[in-house]
Amino acid sequence: MSEPHPHPLYGKHAATLDRALTAIRERAYWSAFNESPSPRVHGEDAAPRGKAAFEAYLDANFSLDQPGTTGWVGGEKSPFGVPLDVRYPRPDVDALLGAATAAMPAWRDAGPQTRAGVCLEILTRLSENVFELAHAVQFTSGQAFVMAFQAGGAHALDRALEALAYAYAEMTRIPASARWEKPAGKGEPLRMDKTWHVVPRGVGLVIGCNTFPTWNSYPGLFASLVTGNAVVVKPHPGAVLPLAVTVKYAREVLAEAGFDPNLVTLAAEAPSEGLASVLALRPEVRIVDFTGSTEYGDWLEANARQAAVYTEKAGVNTVVVDSTDDFAGMCNNIAFSLVLYSGQMCTTPQNILVPREGIATEGGHKSFDEVAEGIGAAVGKLTGDPARGVELTGAIVNEGVLERLERARGLGKVVLDSRAVVHPTFGDAVVRTPLILALDADGEQAYGNEWFGPISFLVSTDSTEHSLEVFRRTVGRRGALTAAVYSRDDKVLDDVERAALDVGVHLSANLTGGVFVNQSAAFSDFHGSGANAAANAALTDGAYVASRFRIVQSRRHS
């Protein structure tokens, strides 16, 4: 079998791919997709065109022309109270998986370069329609517009490219072919010509989440696709549209490039139909990417045994407050991370551990209550003006978060109560500000579990040493995606870093400016580590991509 010529799309995007390959080796700052929604970047018509495209989807069937459509399914409820009424194809699972499987051999045989070129073209197409994507993310997840544009658009595309680059590097770290020549004493050397083929594992299943339908799905989607697998995208029933739009453009580009569009299909369902479980157990499905609850992630890991399963689940993100040289900066930074998307990020801090005797600051000693007041006041300031506040908080993604917020209120002493806010533009939007509770370290039964949503705990400990014990125990048990420390003592910083290594959580130290613990930068920060219970993999590293394909060799005498 001779090696294929790369598709022209490879040449079109080779420079971008090459830059991305450099970025993942250096992990300094780089970004391929501009995070600014400014018309100066995207042109005057991009925003209105995206809005119009979004609106055209509403109250209509979302046609995808994929096989096995047996009817239509919908029911997304916008956290902004906007009626959506989009109806998606309800798939016949046999037909969908059959088509996905049939599409793979030609995709496999096209080789890594062609696949990378086509995938980069899909990212480019999505980027050209990023406003459409941003509106879809905003009105399904409840993110405010700018965040939906950034996290749901530009940053999601950057993460996709990052995963794609790791996968490309992994596929090409060995040559496509080589001559092997072994000396044989005085005789003729043994000579063999060897070829190494990248073969896909099988169908990849991407199970999306409600809060970050694109950001959390893209790395798995593109890592699986570029390594030769077909991908079935199963969105959260509450956030179908962003992934339907994604699938639409992916299919469009695949077909244009001469490949079977069934390499990417959508598997939509109504709430509680259990389609993810049906798909995840099918023998054709050999890769599963999931973001969501610990309970369901654990179920997938235990039951989808025929597949490589990558899960991002829940954890107890923790901040250790020991001391600071910038008390206001610390309070503002923590407050911002609590307010952003009203704490509905998997990276939002939940437990803030503060010695009950208080902490040293540049302005002298601050008591526990003063620290609580400082953070509470900063949150209050960010959310005080509804018009500005809602651009940070967005809306509450679903009923589950509201119920949890009600249940949480009794868990401690209220430092700052959650407030309902009337959204100035969307009157039916469900907006809540953060709830902050204080409780003692012995209340681990409460703060030791994840309370997803605008809920945080200021936990009073005996000392920073005690905070570290709590940190090790709770994160060791439940995992975490993020951790932070505030200290002006290098020994404390080192001790917390060592503890973070032991429990396998990424650590941010002394964030007081424009970087926040709940934000990670593509091509530099890793998201999750795979080293604790909150996730069994990091997004976008070697381990995340290496098992999505296999190498099959052939050899013959030269």
* Ranges within 526-545 binding a second copy (CB under 8 A): 526, 529-531, 538, 541-543
Question: Applying CB under 8 A, does 550 fall inside the site for a second copy?
Answer: yes
Q: How far is the CB of 180 from a second copy (least distance, A)?
A: 5
User: What's the Rg (C-alpha) of the chain?
Assistant: 25
Nearer to a second copy, 420 or 552 (CB): 552
Q: How far is the CB of 190 from a second copy (least distance, A)?
A: 5
Stretch touching a second copy by CB under 8 A, among 94-102, 138-146, 260-268, 520-528: 520-528
Stretch 83-112 residues interacting with a second copy (CB under 8 A)? 105, 108
| Cα 487–chain centre separation | 29
Stretch 205-244 residues interacting with a second copy (CB under 8 A)? none
| Rounded distance between C-alpha atoms, residue 248 and residue 72, angstroms | 16
Q: How far is the CB of 252 from a second copy (least distance, A)?
A: 28
Q: How far is the CB of 182 from a second copy (least distance, A)?
A: 5
| Rounded distance between C-alpha atoms, residue 403 and residue 249, angstroms | 36
Nearer to a second copy, 186 or 305 (CB): 305
Stretch touching a second copy by CB under 8 A, among 69-77, 252-260, 358-366, 513-521: 513-521
Is residue 335 within 8 A of residue 375, CB to CB? The reply is yes
Q: How far is the CB of 162 from a second copy (least distance, A)?
A: 12
Tokens of 108: 């496999």
Q: Cα dist. 255→66, 109, 372 in Å?
A: 12, 16, 57
Stretch 11-40 residues interacting with a second copy (CB under 8 A)? 24-29
Choice from 295, 302, 410, 445 touching a second copy (CB under 8 A): 302
Nearer to a second copy, 413 or 473 (CB): 473
For 359, the 3-state DSSP assignment is strand
Nearer to a second copy, 78 or 229 (CB): 229
Backbone φ and ψ for 118, nearest 5 degrees, come out as: -65, -40
277: left (phi over 0), alpha (psi -120 to 50) or beta: alpha
Tokens of 221: 């989607």
Alpha helices per DSSP H over 172-286: 218-226, 241-256, 275-280
**Helix 386-393 and helix 368-384, axial crossing angle in degrees, nearest 10:** 100
Q: How far is the CB of 251 from a second copy (least distance, A)?
A: 25
DSSP E strands in 140-189: the ranges are: 177-182
Q: How many residues bind a second copy (CB under 8 A)?
A: 71
* Residue at token pair 């060897």: 194
Nearer to a second copy, 76 or 541 (CB): 541
Q: How far is the CB of 156 from a second copy (least distance, A)?
A: 18
For residue 460, the cross-strand partners are: 354, 440
Q: List the x/- string, 369-408, binding to a second copy by CB under 8 A.
A: ----------------------------------------
Q: How far is the CB of 99 from a second copy (least distance, A)?
A: 18
Question: Applying CB under 8 A, does 305 fall inside the site for a second copy?
Answer: yes
Q: How far is the CB of 10 from a second copy (least distance, A)?
A: 21
Question: Applying CB under 8 A, does 43 fall inside the site for a second copy?
Answer: no
Nearer to a second copy, 397 or 539 (CB): 539
Choice from 41, 56, 192, 387 touching a second copy (CB under 8 A): 192
Question: Applying CB under 8 A, does 463 fall inside the site for a second copy?
Answer: no
- Count of other CB atoms within 10 angstroms of residue 465: 12
Residues with Cβ within 8 Å of 486's Cβ and at least 6 positions away in sequence, in order, are 319, 320, 321, 322, 323, 324, 330, 509, 510
| Rounded distance between C-alpha atoms, residue 288 and residue 302, angstroms | 12
Q: How far is the CB of 245 from a second copy (least distance, A)?
A: 28
Q: How far is the CB of 305 from a second copy (least distance, A)?
A: 7
Choice from 511, 522, 534, 539 touching a second copy (CB under 8 A): 511
Stretch 240-279 residues interacting with a second copy (CB under 8 A)? none
Between β-strands 318-321 and 483-486, what pairing exists: parallel, antiparallel or unpaired? parallel
Q: List the x/- string, 489-508, binding to a second copy by CB under 8 A.
A: ----xx--xx-xxx-xxxxx
Question: Dihedral sign, CA of 111, 114, 117, 120?
Answer: negative
Q: How far is the CB of 2 from a second copy (least distance, A)?
A: 9
Stretch 144-183 residues interacting with a second copy (CB under 8 A)? 169-170, 173-175, 178-183
* Residue at token pair 């798995």: 220
* Residue at token pair 């593109």: 222
- Count of other CB atoms within 10 angstroms of residue 377: 16
Closest C-alpha to 474, from 506, 500, 508, 436:
500
Nearer to a second copy, 109 or 252 (CB): 109
Question: Applying CB under 8 A, does 184 fall inside the site for a second copy?
Answer: yes
Is residue 209 within 8 A of residue 236, CB to CB? The reply is yes
